[in-house]
Amino acid sequence: MNQDILMLDGIVKRFGRLVALDHLDFSVRAGEILGIAGPNGAGKSTALAVCTGQLPPNEGRIRFEGQVLNGRPPHEFCHAGIARTFQIPQVFSSMTVRENVEVGRDFGAPSGRRASSGNLEEVLALTGLQDSGGQGAASVDLITRKRIMLAAALATEPKILFMDEPLAGLNEAEIKAFADLIARVNAERDIAIVLVEHKVRTLARLSSRILILNFGQAVRLDVPEVIMSDPEIIELYLGKSHAA
């Protein structure tokens, strides 16, 4: 499927005098996993925040399935079918795992597209939470908090899911497990995923294309095989410390 569902066109985002996104253009295709990589401060998280409605751009246009979304509040981005997860997963610790996922769903579900409770069960099973729904969320470990945050995003029935460094803080076995889960979500629910990740080998394994950002600009966009075999890209933008 090569059809673009989300298009960024000439996006500029400034923080005072700092230009975090500098006429950024890119598109996300239906059903793909688009990887985004680049040095610290390149604008990756800012790009995600613009795509999901948390930060309004100073210039440029965000189009999703033909609709211009500029100026809409974040919950309307979510209602349109755009969801996200954060680098540091937050849970409501006074609630159970299932209640946390329900809260996520209720934020995202528009009245006309309210997710069914069948969907909630499916999402809990897909994310490996089927047996821990009744558990209190206060004491769960990091990967379980990540599963909860992913489940809450999926419960809104998104068409596109943005994930900011989903593998950060996980050990090697957990990285493998969570990367496999991301691949399964993409394949089984037919959701386009935009993945920002410093762990570039895993990113290359998951992604159909990789976009390299630097100083708020798109400097390269290509298939992982090409990106990962280009010594200049590795040297200039990906660094040696970002293995895994």
Ligand X SMILES: Nc1ncnc2c1ncn2[C@@H]1O[C@H](COP(=O)(O)OP(=O)(O)OP(=O)(O)O)[C@@H](O)[C@H]1O
Q: Which listed option, Mg ion, ligand X, none, makes contact with residue 42 (CB within 5 to 8 Å by class)?
A: ligand X
Sole window of 36-44, 113-121, 137-145, 200-208 interacting with Mg ion (rule: CB under 5 A): 36-44
Place of tokens 């593998």: 167
Report, in Å, the least distance between residue 41 CB and ligand X.
Answer: 4
Among 45, 144, 202, 207, binds Mg ion (CB under 5 A): 45
Asked whether position 52 contacts Mg ion by CB under 5 A, the answer is no
Cα Rg of the chain (Å, integer):
17
Sole window of 42-50, 100-108, 115-123, 221-229 interacting with Mg ion (rule: CB under 5 A): 42-50
Report, in Å, the least distance between residue 40 CB and Mg ion.
Answer: 8
Q: Which residues bind ligand X (CB under 6 A)?
A: 15, 18, 20, 38, 40-46
Asked whether position 207 contacts Mg ion by CB under 5 A, the answer is no
Q: Which listed option, Mg ion, ligand X, none, makes contact with residue 127 (CB within 5 to 8 Å by class)?
A: none
Q: Which is nearer to Mg ion, 47 or 124 (CB)?
A: 47
Which residues lie near Mg ion (CB under 5 A)?
Answer: 44-45
